[in-house]
Amino acid sequence: RLVWDLNIDPFDARAYWDFRVDALSGQVLEQMNRLLSCSFGDMPYRHEDDCREENALSQKASIPTLPLITDGAVYNVFPLPVESPSHGDRQLLDSPADPIASPFGWHDTDGSDGAEYTITRGNNAYAFYDGDANQMPSVDTDGGPTLNFDFPYDPALEPNDMKDAAVTNLFYLSNAMHDFLYHYGFDEDAGNYQANHYGQGPGDGDNDVVNALASYGGEDPEGFDELNNADFLPTSDGNNGRMRMFHWNTGNTLLEVTAPAAVAGLYNTGLAEFGPSPLDVTVSGEVVVVDDEVLTPYTSDGCQLPFANDLTGKIAMVDRGGCVFELKAKNAEEAGAIAVIICNFDDQANDMAGNAGVEEPNIPTVSLSVSSCALIRQYAGSGLTVTMGVPEDSGPTWRTGDFDNGIIAHEYAHGLSTRLTGGRFNSGCLSGPEQMGEGWSDFFALVAT
């Protein structure tokens, strides 16, 4: 049977459709979306000054150490194996291009001495800021004739206030992954992403760098529904791959532990549809775990009055389950509490709906993830004090994946696994529901960082 193989890349880039159409009847025989994307949902976020652990396990990737070429390019980035700004500091790297994988540096495309580009573009990748989400550079990040990509970075700023630093880190990591994987077999013969093969490997399949789109849709993240995510469009050899980094919201950090110091910091919270909102009122006090003396389902659910412990002037901590959220809050108020923390049973801080059959409480209520509650409840009743409300300085509203090397490495590895599974000219072998591409990408993110 003769069929047409049609590829359609919609302008909004929400999919990349691969159609098989009967050449005679026009019947669509098969269609699949080749865009690889993971939705992480509303995950809990926590912001602390120091989140190190005394006995934390530290693992580093085994990356070949090779003599560096000296094209003079300088990049201020989070260098591998640093995973993200939470795991290490930026460093100024001088000529980090691998002399075997990228013999003419990261800004060359013709195989002769001297860079063809002074922007974040070259033989392996083209990284640019795409805040307008139109797959075109809103502005190019330029290092000038000396290729000096040293731009200011401040974690307290919004991503759009440090675009050049973000694009530089994305360009660095895209090239670093190219060079790293080159030494493990993802070279010209295997169909890697390069504009020029420099005489290596097959004579075809070049002109296919990875287009890395930084802060995609970041000019208006509130009006853009692609958030808390990243994706990669793997293509057959000879066609550009496309990687997009999105903005991430930092959640509602409306609870601050002020003591003890061991767990002090801001915690992500879910909001209640009932009672006063901590967005409008501020409450401070000592936290006490409720004890209603009824074991079904547990004594800390706060579903039955009277409580065994005194909550007067305290902030009540109760566990989810046994009754509706609003009843827990109303019971705590009846027992004298000034606010309520409801501990979820999974690792998200969910928003909480009201219930028409319950009298509305007059105290604020928030939810915490199970891990956040487990961390702080060990101090409840022993000096755990919190402030519930809008913090004076909760940090930026948005983060960008451009500084998260783990995310970038994961996405880049989709290009590797796709071309190595089906061969460099077949990009459709990892489209089934049980394909292992996501797991392989996680593996490479762990290895690289």
Q: Where are the domains of the chain?
A: 3-33, 65-250+401-448, 252-388
Mind listing the pLDDT tens digit for each residue in 366-396? 999 999 999 999 999 999 999 999 888 767 8
Q: What is the structure's pLDDT at 68?
A: 42
Mind listing the pLDDT tens digit for each residue in 252-267? 889 999 999 999 998 9
Does the pLDDT at position 35 exceed 80? no
CA distance 406 to 275: 40
371: phi then psi, degrees, rounded to nearest 5: -70, -40
CA dist list (Å): 265 to 21, 254, 262, 283, 351: 57, 11, 9, 16, 21
- What's the predicted TM-score (pTM) here? 0.70
CA distance 371 to 64: 37
CA distance 108 to 117: 7
Beta strand pairing call for 17-22 and 28-33: antiparallel
DSSP 403: G
Does the pLDDT at position 210 exceed 60? yes
Does the pLDDT at position 247 exceed 60? yes
Mind listing the pLDDT tens digit for each residue in 260-315? 999 999 899 999 999 999 999 999 999 999 999 998 889 999 999 999 999 999 99
Does the pLDDT at position 32 exceed 80? no
Instruction: For residue 148, list its beta bridge partners.
Output: 74
Which region holds residue 378: left if phi is over 0, alpha if psi is between -120 and 50, else beta?
A: alpha
Same fold, 65-250+401-448 and 252-388: no
Q: What is the structure's pLDDT at 113?
A: 86
Q: What is the structure's pLDDT at 332?
A: 98
Mind listing the pLDDT tens digit for each residue in 76-90? 999 999 999 989 999
Contacts for 78-81 with beta carbons within 8 Å, 24 or more apart? 78/169, 78/403, 78/405, 79/172, 80/173, 80/176, 80/180, 80/405, 80/448, 80/449, 81/448, 81/449
Q: Is the CATH number 2.60.120.260 carried by domain 65-250+401-448?
A: no
Structure tokens at 147: 């290729």
CA distance 235 to 428: 9
State which amino acid sits at residue 24.
Answer: L
Mind listing the pLDDT tens digit for each residue in 40-72? 444 333 333 333 333 333 334 344 444 445 678
Name residue, tokens 């970075």: 153
Burial 430-447 (b: 16+ CB within 10 A, else e): bbeeeeebbebbeebbeb
| Nearest by Cα to 210 from 189, 194, 186 | 194
Does the pLDDT at position 402 exceed 90? yes
Q: Is the CATH number 3.40.718.10 carried by domain 252-388?
A: no
pLDDT higher at 207 or 205? 207
DSSP helix/strand/coil, 277 = coil
154: phi then psi, degrees, rounded to nearest 5: -145, 115
Q: What is the structure's pLDDT at 37?
A: 59
CA distance 96 to 73: 8
| Nearest by Cα to 86 from 64, 116, 53 | 53
Q: What is the structure's pLDDT at 229?
A: 87
Name residue, tokens 């991430």: 248
Mind listing the pLDDT tens digit for each residue in 138-177? 889 999 999 999 999 999 999 999 999 999 999 999 999 9
State which amino acid sits at residue 202.
Answer: P
Mean pLDDT of the chain: 86
Virtual torsion, Cα 75, 81, 86, 92, nearest 10 deg: -20
User: How big is the CA angle at 391 (ends 390 and 395), to the nearest 5 degrees?
Assistant: 115
pLDDT band of residue 397 (cuts 50, 70, 90) is confident
